[in-house]
Chain A
Amino acid sequence: MASISSVIFYVLIFLSVYVQVFFFVTFLENRKKIIVRNGKIKLSHYPTVTIIVSCWNEDKTIYKTIRSLLGIDYPKERLKIFLVDDGSIDNTWDIMKRFEKYPSISIFHKENGGKHTAMNLGLQYVKTEFVACLDADSFVHPQAVNRMMQCFLENKDIMAVIPATIIRDPKNFVQKIQKIEYFGSIFVKKMLGFLNGLHVTPGTLPIYRREVFDRLGGFRKAHNTEDGEIALRMHQHNLRIDYCHDAYVYTVPPDSLYRLYKQRLRWYYGFMKNLIDYRHLLLRPRLGALSLLTLPSGMVSIFSVIFLFTVFIFKFGNFLIEKIVEVQAVGFSEILWLSRFDWFYFNIKSIPLILIVCYSLIIFSILVGRKIVENHFQPSFYIVFYIATYSIIAPIWFLKAVYNVMVSERPSWR
């Protein structure tokens, strides 16, 4: 039994390190292509774009979101903004109505039916060549649309572009560690962009060619992760998704561990359910990195984290029991006799060494992400806090997500 668990352990660790090394090698291959554009850019022409903002009880952030959209540096007559209220019961609709007078803004109100229904309502009225979707708790950098549109103009094969989601001015510890996580995510997504392996078009202003929806239809409920489902559907039809690392969209992250847990539970539950729905995309060489790397590594990381956590808990439990037995045997007064330092007892084992390599690569990805956003490599203590905190809490949402998938219990949105 112990040998089976050891084999599983080594296979999972091997695959986890494999993925990190894969990203690192991809970075070395493409590092010269990662250019961060500063200041304004001019496009050869400005295709028409509609941004659909779906809102449900977002009266705390919607005003700022709309203001950020009005501040986008893009010809006003080429940029439409659709605000869709999905049956909010707070002041969201009243705030939206204040922007009715702007010629570029159209507002819609409907009964509550879920985010995908709000976006599909917007899609019905879209007349532009490009469509973007935005969550009402996100704020767009003035140059974001320009920079993303340049990706489309440079490559006709690209059917969707996603921006770099970042956290600005985090207020508390939970938000600060998420900021570190998002830096790492920028690196990973950039690498997946190079590999054509992006598996999600998150609600922070992905821009699609309208043709995508004409060919594939609108958004689906998709276990409350419509942004993951549409990406998988695009891959299924060989539609390429790219990543624009210097198009910044700021988001408001969960401000407590419980809210973070709820958010991640929804994400990973949705990821697994979508993966089950699209299982035919797994391990198909014709689909490239998404099929051979992104989706399998997503599953591997979920199970690795759960497995490592279980092993850690088991080892830590054993250590505690050992200490309790030690104290029971000799008592507190005599325990000092046992604490002699000798290098002989300093044990070097292979797994911790491999984990050090793995964590070094993770830290490297965070630093590269930080360099892209903040133009410096400066390490921060929050990297350690992020790794430590996530090592403890991530297994909990992964375990719960796996459990929910097994018993088909859908987590709530908030």
Chain B
Amino acid sequence: MTSQNDWKKYVIVFFITATLFASAFYVTDYFYNNKINQLKSIQDNISIDILSSETQFSLLQELSCKNVDNSVLSQEINNIADKINYSEKNFATDNTDIRYLKKYYSLLEIKDYILMKKINERCNSENSFILYMYSTDPTCTDCIKQEYVLSVLRAKYPQLRIYSFDYNLDLSAIEALISIYKIPENVPVMVIDGKNYPGFKTTEEIEKIIPQLKDYLKAQKETSNIKPSEKSAS
């Protein structure tokens, strides 16, 4: 026979269990918000970096090109791409925070791209860019594969600037890019030096398309071979 005391126990245990669940959800939410704040803070840094570069570029009229080096350009733009991809994959898909961050990030990418192009033209620098259009549709397996390849390239060649855009992200600036470069719907598509490269491309294929990458690697090796004493002397 279930007495009143027993009923009380069933209810108390229910509340204890519910509290455990609520605590677990709270902790998860806390760490999720932390990650979102981390992404926001990285984006703020990028924004400041771009503003700084733009200001420096405006001053170029009075300064020589040697004063503009890559160090002033945001190095975090590559780093954040993987994190946004990861967040999109692992957090709720309909999350407005992530979509907002993604839109903001896409705009920062476009600004960075425009600035880099201007610097290239004005100073005859040999920075390389890839505009990469993808889809988050899970049936686009080539997009998933291409993302891995681009992550490798980002890590291998910090000088290579890869700008990833969600083809279906509702953002007019992306639509403008699509129309300027006549990017077809069947993603993945990469735009390198104004030319479209549809379909999956391996690391080797991209390295062939952008021959400067080998020079970057050589330069990196040379830099790492310089002795510390030589470094400080220079």
Contact = CB atoms under 8 A, between A and B. Distances in A.
A325 B145 CA distance: 6
A14 B16 CA distance: 11
B33 to A, nearest CB: 12
A350 B24 contact: yes
B51 interface: no
Give the interface SS of chain B, mostly helix, strand, loop or mixed.
helix
A344 B79 CA distance: 11
B28 A353 contact: yes
B115 to A, nearest CB: 26
Contacts of A335: 152
Contacts of B155: 337-338, 340
Interface in A379-397: none
Contacts of B17: 14, 17-18, 21
A327 B73 CA distance: 32
A27 to B, nearest CB: 12
A351 B86 CA distance: 19
A286 B24 CA distance: 35
A357 interface: yes
Nearest to A18: B17
A292 B25 contact: no
A25 B13 contact: yes
Instruction: Provide the main secondary structure of the chain A interface.
Output: helix
A334 B203 contact: yes
Contacts of B144: 322, 325, 329
Nearest to A195: B6
B148 interface: yes
Query: Chain B interface: which size bin?
Result: 35 or more
B10 A292 contact: yes
B149 interface: yes
A288 B5 CA distance: 12
Contacts of B28: 348-350, 353
Interface string B11-22: 011101100110
A311 interface: no
Interface string B37-64: 0100000000000000000000000000
Interface in B175-213: 200, 202-203
Given A292-B2, A350-B25, A353-B27, A329 B12 contact: no
Interface of B: 1-2, 6, 9-10, 12-14, 16-17, 20-21, 24-25, 27-28, 31, 35, 38, 83, 86, 90, 141, 144-146, 148-149, 151-152, 155-156, 200, 202-203
15 contacts: A17-B17, A18-B17, A22-B10, A288-B6, A289-B6, A328-B145, A329-B145, A329-B200, A330-B202, A331-B203, A337-B151, A342-B83, A349-B28, A350-B25, A351-B24
Nearest 10 CB-CB pairings of A with B: A329-B145, A329-B148, A353-B24, A337-B155, A350-B24, A337-B152, A350-B28, A285-B2, A348-B31, A18-B17
